[in-house]
């Protein structure tokens, strides 16, 4: 969100909640928040729909099978939802690249330094894994890690507000614009337990995304580890709204262990770009074609199979591209 540190888009297709505070329960619901936020695009839904009709009417009709209608507020909301789905389909094509850690796990023992391997042990011992678990190093849930708020922006109530916003949204998973209203994520009641909590971010690519935390107030990975060693900001401190979190405990580490842990975190970031895998290349090609089309090129959808993949992609994205690729 406009007043927070911009989170990475890489891997966001795998996230249960979008935005730091869980204001959106799907990838396609998130863009509407950015369009309407006065600190981001500052557009009304009606204005967005007008621009889509004016600049991308043809492409919209080809993809969604009907022309942009702005007759009623419901029609306008449908356009906003569809734009969100198109953006979500693109974001799903952003590949999560292989990092030294992945090569090490796959058996290439030289892929990580001895220091980084020692850092993995520190990562496990100090309990990072409790929240930063799974393939994306995130449990996808809300926690009070108690990173400091930015005093210039003010206190941040986090998920207590985010979940309330998700509940009010017409773009939620159980809403009428959802393609899968039968399988929405349950949105939490905005109880006090969510105050000052944020979604555990992925640690993939983390070496490239300083500064850290929802407010971007922690400058380096070294600082992050020292903050965790002291158990986050103290509960009740003016710079955090977060309460106790059963998964967060202070610990002692030597400076050598801090360096090792940082080396491990660096090993979760891909090395310099290399030749992308086939799926990623195809994803890029599709995105490029789509971009051309939006820019006014008279590119027609090619074979029907491609057209079908593109439309289904709005609902199933990544999986469809992969599946389609496997058959060809
Ligand atoms: C209680 C759950 C929890 C534990 C335990 C935990 N984290 Fe986190 N981590 C989070 C949450 C939640 C955030 C976001 C905090 C915020 O913005 O206020 C975060 C943020 C981070 C960030 C910043 C990422 C970014 O993109 O800004 C890093 C790096 C990080 N954690 C590493 C670690 C390490 C290393 C450990 C172990 C020493 C650890 N975490 C332990 C939940 C946890």
Structural domains in the chain plus CATH codes: 100-159+187-266 (1.10.760.10)
Cα separation values, 226 from 23, 164, 234, Å: 29, 33, 13
Helices (H), the chain: 30-36, 45-64, 73-91, 100-105, 114-125, 128-131, 159-168, 221-229, 255-266, 278-294, 304-316, 318-327
* Cα–Cα distance, 193 to 199 (Å, whole number): 14
CA-wise closest residue to 109 among 101, 98, 118, 99: 101
**Ligand 1 in contact with 92 (CB < 6 A)?**
no
Determine the atom of ligand 1 nearest the C-alpha atom of 249: 5
**pTM given for the model:** 0.83
Tell me the CA–centroid distance for residue 111 and ligand 1, in Å: 24
Tell me the CA–centroid distance for residue 303 and ligand 1, in Å: 46
How many residues in total does the chain contain?
Answer: 328
pLDDT on residue 117:
98
What does pLDDT average to in each consecutive run of 10 residues of the chain (328 residues)?
Answer: 81 91 93 91 94 95 95 96 95 91 96 97 98 95 96 93 93 91 80 95 94 95 97 96 97 98 96 61 61 43 36 29 30
Mutate to test the pocket of ligand 1, among 17, 120, 224, 241 (most ligand atoms within 8 A of CB): 224
């Amino acid at each position: 969100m406009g007043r927070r540190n911009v989170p990475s888009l890489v891997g966001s297709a795998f996230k249960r909640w979008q935005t730091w505070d869980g204001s959106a329960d799907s990838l396609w619901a998130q863009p509407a928040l950015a369009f309407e936020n006065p600190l981001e695009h500052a557009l009304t839904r009606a204005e967005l729909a007008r621009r889509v009709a004016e600049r991308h009417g043809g492409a919209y009709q080809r993809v969604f099978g009907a022309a942009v209608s702005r007759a009623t507020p419901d029609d306008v909301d449908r356009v906003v939802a569809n734009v969100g789905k198109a953006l979500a389909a693109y974001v799903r094509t952003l590949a999560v690249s292989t990092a030294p850690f992945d090569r090490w796990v796959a058996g290439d023992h030289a892929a990580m330094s001895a220091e980084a391997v020692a850092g993995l042990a520190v990562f496990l011992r100090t309990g990072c894994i409790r929240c930063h678990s799974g393939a994306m190093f995130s449990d996808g849930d809300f926690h009070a890690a108690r990173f400091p708020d930015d005093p210039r922006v003010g206190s941040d109530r986090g998920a207590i507000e985010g979940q309330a916003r998700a509940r009010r949204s017409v773009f939620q998973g159980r809403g009428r614009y959802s393609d899968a209203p039968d399988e929405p994520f349950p949105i939490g009641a905005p109880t006090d337990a969510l105050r000052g909590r944020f979604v555990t971010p992925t640690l993939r690519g983390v070496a490239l995304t300083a500064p850290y935390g929802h407010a971007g107030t922690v400058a380096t990975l070294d600082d992050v580890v020292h903050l965790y060693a002291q158990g986050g900001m103290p509960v009740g401190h003016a710079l955090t709204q977060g309460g106790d979190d059963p998964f967060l405990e202070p610990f002692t580490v030597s400076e050598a262990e801090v360096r090792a842990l940082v080396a491990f975190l660096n090993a979760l970031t891909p090395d310099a770009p290399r030749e992308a895998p086939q799926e990623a290349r195809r994803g890029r090609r599709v995105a490029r074609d789509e971009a051309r089309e939006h820019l006014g090129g008279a590119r027609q959808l090619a074979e029907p199979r491609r057209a079908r993949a593109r439309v289904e992609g709005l609902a199933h994205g990544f999986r469809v591209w992969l599946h389609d690729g496997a058959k060809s």
